[in-house]
Amino acid sequence: MLSQLGHITVGVADSLMVGQLGAVPLAASSLANSIFAIIITFGIGISYGITPLVAASDGEGDQVGIRYYFKHGLILNMVTGIALFGLVMGFSYTLYDFGQDEEVVALAIPYLVVVTFSLVPFMFFQTYRQFAEGLSHTKHAMYVTLAANVINVLLNYVLIFGKFGFPALGLLGAGYATLISRILMALMMGLYIGYSKDFDNYDLKFKWFFERLYFNRILKIGLPSAIQFMFEVGAFVMAAIMIGWLGAEALAAHQIAINLATISYMTASGISSAATIRVGNQLGRRDIPKLRAAGFTSFIMAAIFMIGCASIFMAGHKFFPTLYIDDQEVIQLASSLIIVASLFQLSDGIQVVGLGALRGMRDVKIPTYITFLAYWIIGLPIGYYFGFILNHGAVGVWYGLFIGLTITAGLIFYRFNYITKKLSKDYI
């Protein structure tokens, strides 16, 4: 949970510090980070293919399989990181065609290019992290992520505001801070895995050897997982684009509210990662009762945590926006959006944990269809209707997100219960 929280606090720190520059830089940060969220979650989804396979191999005592999944995952993740950076380089200047404020787009593009380049070292980090987590070694990734966040905040201060003789780069400075911190994350995680005695048995020295079978197995889980993330995060990006049609102030308010909602979501996704590991491990051992226990325990933990987050959001909905900006119009709108965010916390936690548990069982195809249906066929059209036809503005768009999340949560929970009951009968 702390590792996942560490990833999002990079963006939170950027938004908190960039918000001091005004509504336009904060709106530019929102636009760029919304697009980058699709890119990075696609990369994370691909890397997630490693964890359940390593966890299941660990449950089976298959050290050769563990080694091969790591090496093939490293190649696959590095190719993915480079390809995604190239995609954004070619796509970035089309942002002017999305109906956004031109001043916002001009600030967003160079920042987007820099943070996307940080995806290359990040995917290196993810390979080592997902490998270690598949073997239930989760603490060091947490230490590395938290250390990188401290570095990111310090570099933000220096590069955004121009301290200690450095030029004041504004939003672009936040991008460079993110890039540097992620390079250090990759180095620290690589050195840990390379020199720790915990991994001596796996022979992780890189050799130019690969088999299509291992790529296919990783992609069979990783690609649908990546598409799941794209459907979900893409829905929030589409919501940001629609809200951007309402002006820079509305987009800045959206950035504040989504920033807070993402903190709770990413923390809950830590429980989701744990569910993937434990479910995958018990699947490898063919122990279905413990598999179900691990899954349902994860649901309960997520529900308790997200109800707590909802209470905090509701109590502080007027206070939290003041941490980001002093524009009263933005603060008032962000406050309304945070109330909606508090309403969908439980659904958000249930759906992300359910997807993780199903991933541990290598069940990814049907959940992908569910996310597409809930967000793109139901949630976004309803959001557009409430926001622009009924003139509820940004709040109306968020109603659509709430409905999409709730439908996803219900269907994913039902599927986990259905699949595990079926597995229980098959193994009797």
95-108: per-residue pLDDT in tens? 777 777 788 888 88
Distance CA(98)–CA(245), nearest Å, equals: 9
**For residues 110-115, average pLDDT:** 92
Structural domain count of the chain: 1
Q: What amino acid is encoded at 124 in this protein? A: F
Task: Tell me the per-residue pLDDT of 305-329, one tens digit each, with 9 for 90 and over.
Answer: 999 999 999 999 999 999 888 888 8
**Whole-number pLDDT of residue 76:** 93
**For residues 344-373, average pLDDT:** 92
**For residues 402-410, average pLDDT:** 94
- 3-class SS of residue 384: helix
Residue with the bigger pLDDT between 52 and 380: it is 380
Residue from 378, 354, 374 nearest 364 by CA = 354
Confidence at 426, pLDDT banded by 50, 70, 90: low
Which residues neighbour 249 within 8 Å (Cβ) at sequence distance 6 or greater? 23, 27, 327, 329, 330, 333
Range of the domain at 10: 2-202+209-426
- Residue 136 φ/ψ region, left for φ over 0, alpha for ψ in the -120 to 50 degree band, beta for the rest: left
Residue from 131, 90, 130, 97 nearest 112 by CA = 90
Within 138-268, strands assigned E span none
Tokens 């399989």: give the residue: 65
Confidence at 382, pLDDT banded by 50, 70, 90: very high
Residue from 271, 423, 277, 287 nearest 350 by CA = 271
Chain mean pLDDT for the chain: 87
**For residues 214-242, average pLDDT:** 86
**Whole-number pLDDT of residue 68:** 87
**For residues 225-236, average pLDDT:** 84
How many Å is the Cα radius of gyration of the chain? 21
Distance CA(245)–CA(242), nearest Å, equals: 5
Which residues neighbour 224 within 8 Å (Cβ) at sequence distance 6 or greater? 364, 365, 367, 368
Using CA atoms, how far residue 38 sits from 33, 147, 227, 306, 349, in Å, is 9, 25, 10, 23, 19
Whether the per-residue pLDDT at 283 is higher than 90: the answer is no
